[in-house]
Structure 1
Amino acid sequence: MDTRAVNKEMALISNVLAAYTFIADHLERAALFFMCGVCLGLFFTLLALVVQISCRKECRTGPKRQPRSHPRVAKEDSEGSNSDSDSDSASDLSARRHRRFERTLRTNVFVSAEELERAQRLEERERIIREIWMNGQPDVPGTLGISHYY
């Protein structure tokens, strides 16, 4: 049994030495393989993140079930109204996404009016600084500065 363990250890050591000599002989190829592995790993991680985020809400909220009603009430509904076509169009995936988009537009990012005011003042300051910087560039003869186009 000890000979098997020794043989496995020797095989491991010889494999490590073989890998080291290959890397030492072909440094560019090893670096290329390493970078390809890193890039593929990052790509698959990003793909998994995107799938997780996009499916998070969709997987949790399944199709809404209609509450059970008495057969008499259901018969009257099916005869006299177009509520089935309305519920079909409301459960459409694109309609749900559009409603979710409109909801996000309506929500206020800022908690208070003071924060909104501060953000507007900050944007105005940044705009003024950009304008001053664009207009304050020196005009060197023979070159067209950015201020000529601004």
Structure 2
Amino acid sequence: MLKNIQEWILLFIIVSVMVAVGNWIGYEVMPLEALPGILALVGISLVGLILHRVNPYKGIPSIAYIGILAFIVTIPGVPGAEQIVEWTSKVNLLAIATPILAYAGISIGRSWADFAKLGWKTIIVGMFVLLGTYLGSAVIAEILLRMQGII
């Protein structure tokens, strides 16, 4: 279990940095301003994953534990709920979704260790593929929106 927690923490650190940068660039929220919200989300997620792991009944997915825990800690009247809501309101949803979706794509290969074994060249190629996909989508969207007169 300790190895799983270490992997989760490493993953959360990587995703947190990506969320902070995305939140800063896309939504002009300074990383230090968003840090308490990011840490709150990481803490809730980590506790939810641990609860899922220690529960002998595996019929409930870990996302359910995370969601229920997040719901409980933000109920009005729960000590600290207002503070958690204030902190997390500084973290934009799309800044969170982007690295999570990127990780979902990588997790198809099962683990970061396996991904790292592919070598640094694979990471660079992957970054160019993602960049090209993003830029291509942006150009197509720009052209279509201009043709429709929306922008």
Q: Please tell me the TM-score bracket, short chain as reference.
A: under 0.3
Larger RCO, structure (CA 8 Å, separation 6 or more): 2
Question: TM-score scaled to structure 2, two decimals?
Answer: 0.23
Question: TM-score scaled to structure 1, two decimals?
Answer: 0.23
